[in-house]
Amino acid sequence: MLPSLFIEAAGFPERWQERDLQKYIGDRLKERGFQTQLEVSANGGRADIVTSWQGGAIIECKKYLDRNTIYQAVGQLNLYGLNNTHKLIVMGFLTPDAREQSSALKTASMVEQNPRIQVVFVNLEPEWLPGGKVRIGFGNLKFWNSRLTQLPNFQDLRWWLNLSKANPLILILAGSLFLGVLPELRKLTPATVIQQTQQQP
């Protein structure tokens, strides 16, 4: 979607500023059930958005993302991300300057080689478009994100802790399943297993 169409559909003021985009993103995250705070003090600066999305994320908003603004935002996020494990996310519109778009996309893919950093072009991803369907979050899984390049490390205990913090319902379901199966497992003592195998012809 062209930024001008996005801006109109989202109801931004005529002379909109970064804070309008910041508020829009914050509202979308709240609609999806994530805790979200705007303008949070962080390591000598002010993070645009801090949210429980993706197990904890710091978002830096820029009106238009080109090579230079992506580098600038990543620099800010690296400062805000000191002494925490939050995901660092740059969000904004892909620059409308056609000559700059390929370098912006290439820069995004380069900085995303660091698994902690993500670049989101809000006018290119359906989940962020005005009037688009709100997708319910699944912690770090993000199955709907076509730009996800690698799966999470399921053997990392921190990943499971972040998943359970972001989605307590999953923890409850897993516990219920385990408690439902446990009584059946107790019935299978070695003696009953041997007895069942002997009864088979």
Query: Which tokens hold the place of 55?
Result: 């197990």
Q: Is residue 161 part of a domain?
A: no
Looking at the chain, list the stretches that DSSP marks H as alpha helix, in order from N- to C-terminal side: 3-10, 18-31, 67-80, 98-111, 157-166, 168-187, 190-199
Say how far apart CA 131 and CA 148 lie, in whole Å.
23
Residue 115 sits in the same domain as residue 193: no
Say how far apart CA 157 and CA 159 lie, in whole Å.
5
Say how far apart CA 186 and CA 163 lie, in whole Å.
29
Q: Which domain holds residue 106?
A: 3-151
Domain with residue 100: its CATH number is: 3.40.1350.10
Q: Are 60 and 39 in contact (CB under 8 A)?
A: no
Could you tell me the pLDDT band of residue 41, with boundaries at 50, 70 and 90?
A: confident
Percentage of the residues of the chain whose pLDDT score is greater than 90? 43
Could you tell me the pLDDT band of residue 164, with boundaries at 50, 70 and 90?
A: low
